[in-house]
Amino acid sequence: MNTESLADALFPDIKDSPAALEARFPKRSTTAPVTRFAPSPTGYLHIGGLLASLVSERFAHQSGGIFFLRIEDTDKEREVPNGIEEIISAFSGFGITFDEGPTSDTAEKGSYGPYIQSKRADIYKVYIKELVRQGKAYPCFCTSDDLSKLRSEQEAKGAKTGYYADWAKHRALTPEQAAAEAKTKPFVIRLKSSGSETRKISFDDCIRGTIEMPENDFDAVIMKADGIPTYHFAHAVDDHLMRTTHVIRGEEWLSSVPLHLELFATLGFETPRYAHIAPIMKQDGESRRKLSKRHDPEAAVRFYHEQGYPVNAVIEYLMNIIDGSFERWRVENPAAVHTEFKFDLSRMSKSGGLFDMTKLNDVSQNFISRMSAESVYESALRWAEEFKPDLHALMKEKREFTTAVFNIGRGDPKARKDIRTWADVPNILAYCYDELFPSIAGDYVFPATMSNENLVAFLTAYKNANPDMSTHDSWYKAVLDIATGMGFAPDMKTFKKNPGVYKGQPGELMMSLRIAVLKIKESPDLYSMFSAMGHERARARIDICLNKLR
């Protein structure tokens, strides 16, 4: 018996040949980059995964290339229901679109599929069978018990642990022996490595430059006992047949590159370019560590959604991490969309971008300050629908008023920046909506210089006045008339010249009015707030306050 008959005995149903597959998935006509994002459908999306997908997407699309989605579900244990749908909808929410790939659990687009690994079992087997046929791979019958014995023996002798060289005992089986064992025992298929630890491989990583590592010499498992390939083997076959030009992935795969290069060479495939992205780091006291799924809520993309960061603000922030020159570009091009920025893989950090919440908040705040009042309203409304249903109902009812409030100070050179995330909106609407106003906790805190007597007198006078609200100036004049009538200075300068002569200055009164009506110290422009509310509602609020003061 030879290895050809062994291959037939192990894979009797596999009739396709590598040549047939080559013909079915011909080289792409484009010379532009082809990249992919290849998540496992765990339903959990790590911010690092979003970053990697953005890098791959931008890298392909900024040069007119192709970006596709491949679902890596060979690890059955990690699968969750609806994982694929969740991934797709999360990405489209971030404006990241795939040219090819699954569009749901059952449908897909593109001619290099199937794009879900569990649907590609027969494709992998064609190549596995071919490697067995050529004597470059072989079945291994070791149980996990056998493997732990091997490990103990190696440890006792001070040898490197693992399945390699003379330690790889099923390497030595003849095709007859292997075929006979396969009739009764489960087996995995291993690569018969021709590498040596003493030789080096070298490759050019697009982010990290030239890297040298020892060759792979392990007989790595390429097909598990259930007939499903390992990540390593599926990576080689898929990225070859899908004609990926650049494999952009997390740095945790860097140590597997020697094996991957050996697999590509053994299979006779051209190797793609690699780019290994450093993980996003977090400052933790004195030291830095990877952002962790277990310890850091901000590691999950869902966190940004829950906290109400606009998706574009998150993307914008990630662009800052990806390429340090993005920030300057943004200042020079405030109105441009991020896709107009051309980034360079070689400018990416090798040590890992540092996650910076302050920076994120800054980016988000600036982003929201550039949005129109209508889109602020729509986005905040969508957020509230999911996370604050009661507020959502009120917002829907008060569309016009709410949009008017969001419109205050918008489009100014010094645009208002009181909204960092949609989660700030409930606090703002609390002082705007009469229904929520009573829920604002705490006492009214007026300027310390205002006596109770002056406060009551001023608020009563304002309440009974009928200020002309047609312009800011006409309104301000009405307030000043009350102020000067009470013995307050008409402005700060006059007050400072003769402080003893006056009861105070208009700033104190303005602040008192703001607090009486809105209960807060900082709000968008007071005149605009009052205009949006209407004088009657302001008057009613003053009454509530006066009842407390008297």
Strand 34-37 with 273-277, pairing: unpaired
> What are 333's two structure tokens?
């091009």
What is the nearest approach in angstroms of ligand GLU to the Cβ of residue 326?
Answer: 23
* Interface with ligand GLU (CB under 6 A), residue from 190, 240, 246, 249: 249
Instruction: Give the bridge partners for 109, in sequence order.
Output: 101
Give the interface size with ligand GLU as a residue count (CB under 6 A). Answer: 9
Query: What count of Cα atoms within 13 Å lies in the side-chain half-sphere of residue 205?
Result: 26
What is the nearest approach in angstroms of ligand GLU to the Cβ of residue 38?
Answer: 4
Residue nearest to ligand GLU (CB): 249
What is the nearest approach in angstroms of ligand GLU to the Cβ of residue 16?
Answer: 24
What is the nearest approach in angstroms of ligand GLU to the Cβ of residue 253?
Answer: 6
Would you say 126 and 8 are in contact if contact means Cβ atoms under 8 Å apart?
no
What is the nearest approach in angstroms of ligand GLU to the Cβ of residue 52?
Answer: 7
What is the nearest approach in angstroms of ligand GLU to the Cβ of residue 75?
Answer: 8
Q: Which is nearer to ligand GLU, 71 or 132 (CB)?
A: 71
Q: Which is nearer to ligand GLU, 41 or 139 (CB)?
A: 41
Instruction: Give the bridge partners for 514, in sequence order.
Output: none
Would you say 258 and 214 are in contact if contact means Cβ atoms under 8 Å apart?
yes
Contact region with ligand GLU (CB under 6 A), list: 95-103, 104-112, 174-182, 247-255: 247-255
Q: Which is nearer to ligand GLU, 293 or 537 (CB)?
A: 293
Q: Does 72 help bind ligand GLU (rule: CB under 6 A)? A: yes
Q: Which is nearer to ligand GLU, 162 or 250 (CB)?
A: 250
Q: Does 278 help bind ligand GLU (rule: CB under 6 A)? A: no
Would you say 495 and 489 are in contact if contact means Cβ atoms under 8 Å apart?
yes
What is the nearest approach in angstroms of ligand GLU to the Cβ of residue 346?
Answer: 19
Instruction: Enumerate residues 469-498 that contact ligand GLU by CB under 6 A.
Output: none
CA distance 445 to 441: 12
Instruction: Enumerate residues 157-186 that contact ligand GLU by CB under 6 A.
Output: none
CA 121, 127, 130, 135 torsion-angle sign: negative
Q: Which is nearer to ligand GLU, 253 or 476 (CB)?
A: 253
Q: Which is nearer to ligand GLU, 38 or 533 (CB)?
A: 38
Contact region with ligand GLU (CB under 6 A), list: 157-165, 195-203, 249-257, 351-359: 249-257
Q: Which is nearer to ligand GLU, 14 or 55 (CB)?
A: 55
Would you say 319 and 328 are in contact if contact means Cβ atoms under 8 Å apart?
no
DSSP track, 63-124: TT-EEEE-B----GGG--TTHHHHHHHHHHHTT---SBEESSSS-EESSS---BGGG-HHHH
Q: Give the number of residues written for the chain.
A: 550
How far are the Cα atoms of 94, 224, 321, 331, 484 from residue 370, in angstroms, in the given order? 18, 53, 21, 13, 39
Q: Which is nearer to ligand GLU, 269 or 387 (CB)?
A: 269
Report the run of H or E that residue 305 belongs to, with start and end: helix 301-306
Q: Which is nearer to ligand GLU, 235 or 514 (CB)?
A: 235
Q: Which is nearer to ligand GLU, 34 or 518 (CB)?
A: 34
Contact region with ligand GLU (CB under 6 A), list: 248-256, 424-432, 525-533, 535-543: 248-256
* Interface with ligand GLU (CB under 6 A), residue from 46, 170, 232, 235: 235
Q: Which is nearer to ligand GLU, 77 or 166 (CB)?
A: 77
Q: Which is nearer to ligand GLU, 40 or 312 (CB)?
A: 40
What is the nearest approach in angstroms of ligand GLU to the Cβ of residue 61?
Answer: 17
DSSP track, 190-216: EE-----TTSEEEEEETTTEEEEEEPP
What is the nearest approach in angstroms of ligand GLU to the Cβ of residue 37?
Answer: 7
CA distance 204 to 271: 11
Binding string, residues 250-269; x marks residues near ligand GLU by CB under 6 A = x--x----------------
DSSP track, 437-473: GGG--S-----TTS-HHHHHHHHHHHHHS---TTSHH
Would you say 281 and 289 are in contact if contact means Cβ atoms under 8 Å apart?
yes
What is the nearest approach in angstroms of ligand GLU to the Cβ of residue 82?
Answer: 18
Longest dimension (CA), the chain: 114
What is the nearest approach in angstroms of ligand GLU to the Cβ of residue 115?
Answer: 13
Q: Which of 400, 401, 364 is nearest to 383 (CA)?
A: 364
Cis-peptide, bond into residue 334, ω within 30° of zero? no
Q: Which is nearer to ligand GLU, 40 or 379 (CB)?
A: 40
Q: Which of 462, 468, 466, 508 is nearest to 485 (CA)?
A: 462
Binding string, residues 84-123; x marks residues near ligand GLU by CB under 6 A = ----------------------------------------
How far are the Cα atoms of 164, 195, 267 from residue 216, in angstroms, in the given order? 10, 5, 15
Instruction: Give the bridge partners for 218, in sequence order.
Output: 164
Q: Does 272 help bind ligand GLU (rule: CB under 6 A)? A: no
Binding string, residues 10-49; x marks residues near ligand GLU by CB under 6 A = ----------------------------xxx---------
- First-to-last alpha carbon distance for the chain, in angstroms, is 105
Report the run of H or E that residue 360 belongs to, with start and end: helix 357-369
Q: Which residues lie near ligand GLU (CB under 6 A)?
A: 38-40, 72, 235, 247, 249-250, 253
